[in-house]
Amino acid sequence: MADSLEEAARAAQANAYAPYSSYRVGAALEAIDGRVFVGCNVENVSYGLTICAERSAVVRAVADGARRFRRLVVVSDSEPPASPCGACRQVLLEFGSELLVESIGPGSRRRWLLGDLLPAAFSKGTLA
C-alpha cells in the first residue's frame, strides 16, 4: 500500500524529463518538521549536466529552508529498485547519515540508512 511520500514521489516521476534514457525517476524528501519536497530527474543532451531526482528534491528543500531530513522515497521503473547514485549519496550525506532511503520499483522495495550506502564517507567530520 502506498503512503503519501510514495504518492508524492510517483507524482514527481510523472514530470521527469528523460528524453534520452527514458529512465524516469521521482523522489520525495521528508523534512524533520513533516514538510515534503519533491524532485524528478531532468536530463540534458550534455549528459553530465543531468540532475537526478534525489538532488532535485534536496535543492528544493534547501531553497525552502529545510536542513534536517527524516526519509527519502525514490520511485523508478527499475527492478530491483535502484539505490541513489554516488553523487546523490554524497549530496544527501551533507545533511546527515541517518536518513532512511527507500527505493521502490514496480514490484518491490528496498530500504537503507544513508550511512550504510556510503561507508567511510567524506563528510564534515573529515574537514575538522
- Cell readout for 49 is 549536466
Per DSSP, the three-state class of 6 is: helix
In whole angstroms, what is the distance from residue 106 CA to residue 24 CA? 13
Count the Cβ atoms, other than its own, within 10 Å of residue 103.
Answer: 24
54 included as an active-site residue: yes
Catalytic-labelled residue, pool 54, 79, 94, 102? 54
**Residues annotated as part of the active site:** 54
